[in-house]
Amino acid sequence: MKLVRFGAAGAEKPGLIDADGKVRDLSGVVPDIAGAVLGRDGLARLKALDPASLPLAPQDSRLGACVGSVGNFIAVGLNYADHAAESGMAVPAEPVLFNKAPSCIVGPDDTVLIPRGSQKTDWEVELAVVIGERASYVSEADALDYVAGFCVCNDVSERAYQIEGTGQWMKGKGCPTFGPLGPWLVTPDEIDTANLAMTLKLNGETVQNGSTGTMVFKVPHLVHYISQFMILEPGDVITTGTPPGVGMGMKPPRYLKPGDRMEVSIEGLGTQRQLVAATA
């Protein structure tokens, strides 16, 4: 299934994409694409529905983030060897983890805001994992049983906040609008994330062109590893790292400016389109 949330920001309704690519309204069936709805039983209930029996969403409805009520938004740094190289950092021996603020989550086509005074706002196309079942101390072999689905994430980053000064990554990762998710949440039965093409275009120019196949730590290991340190709840999001081509790694470095447009895609998971603007 491809699950979505549609409507005005803060008032999104749950939906699914039918065989014709149209959004069907699930609000008469479930309250949101969140929490227990993302568990095995909840997803089985949705899969058993006949999409044609559901009302169509209003045409041209805004798409919100494809998962609601996110509790933990966890990110993995330096998870592509070639991106680590362009960042001038060693490939880590185990996953590097940091937090993105859940309040930074926005819809896939919402405007991305450059923070006040920022000179180094950057882009990162990433595969995101949405948890479906409560996970604590799970084995790597069983890890995918705890996953509700996958989506595109643009891990927008402010490099001065992240690296300079005290160098705390979370400062550069959780600014408002720094976490577009979607357009869809694709359930694991419909996607194999082992070798998906990933691209990010800036003003029509392809600046990132990679594949999930070059991830250092794969999805099952990441879910297993993170569950050793914290309890993962349904609706938690793990964004799993980016391939090379970020602005920080260019010579000279290149960063986002008002008026820029990003197109962020992962094979089988759809495309985000974002206008960049300055924070008022």
- Kindly report, residue by residue over 66-94, the tens digit of the pLDDT: 999 999 999 999 999 877 777 777 888 99
- Kindly report, residue by residue over 87-142, the tens digit of the pLDDT: 777 888 999 999 999 999 999 999 999 999 999 999 999 999 999 999 999 999 99
Assess whether 156 and 107 both reside in one domain: yes
β-pairing, 73-77 vs 205-211, is unpaired
Assess whether 111 and 205 both reside in one domain: yes
Assess whether 123 and 163 both reside in one domain: yes
Tokens found for residue 187:
């359930």
User: Which string of DSSP letters, residue by residue, matches 9-77?
Assistant: TT--EEEEE-TTS-EEE-TTT-S-SSGGGGSHHHHHHHHTS-GGGSPBPPTTPPB--SS-S---EEEEE
Question: Which CATH number is 83's domain given?
Answer: 3.90.850.10
pLDDT at site 99: 96
Q: Residue for token digits 């079942």?
A: 133
Assess whether 168 and 115 both reside in one domain: yes
- Kindly report, residue by residue over 158-210, the tens digit of the pLDDT: 999 999 988 788 999 999 999 999 999 999 999 999 999 999 999 999 999 99
pTM: 0.96
Cis peptide bond prior to 183, omega within 30° of 0: yes
DSSP 8-state class, residue 86: H
> How many Cβ atoms from other residues are within 10 Å of residue 137's Cβ?
9
β-pairing, 73-77 vs 237-239, is parallel
Handedness of CA 22, 260, 79, 230 (dihedral sign): negative
Q: Please compute the mean of the pLDDT values over residues 225-244 and round it to a whole number.
A: 97
The answer to the question of residue 63 being in a domain is: no
Assess whether 223 and 90 both reside in one domain: yes
Q: Which helix (H) or strand (E) holds 264?
A: strand 261-266
The answer to the question of residue 61 being in a domain is: no
The answer to the question of residue 208 being in a domain is: yes
pLDDT at site 88: 78
- Kindly report, residue by residue over 21-38, the tens digit of the pLDDT: 999 999 999 999 999 999
Of the two residues 92 and 274, the one the predictor is more confident about is 274
Assess whether 33 and 99 both reside in one domain: no
Boundaries of domain holding 14: 2-53
Assess whether 6 and 144 both reside in one domain: no
* Residue 117 to residue 81: CA distance in whole angstroms: 31
Structural domains of the chain, count = 2
Assess whether 194 and 268 both reside in one domain: yes
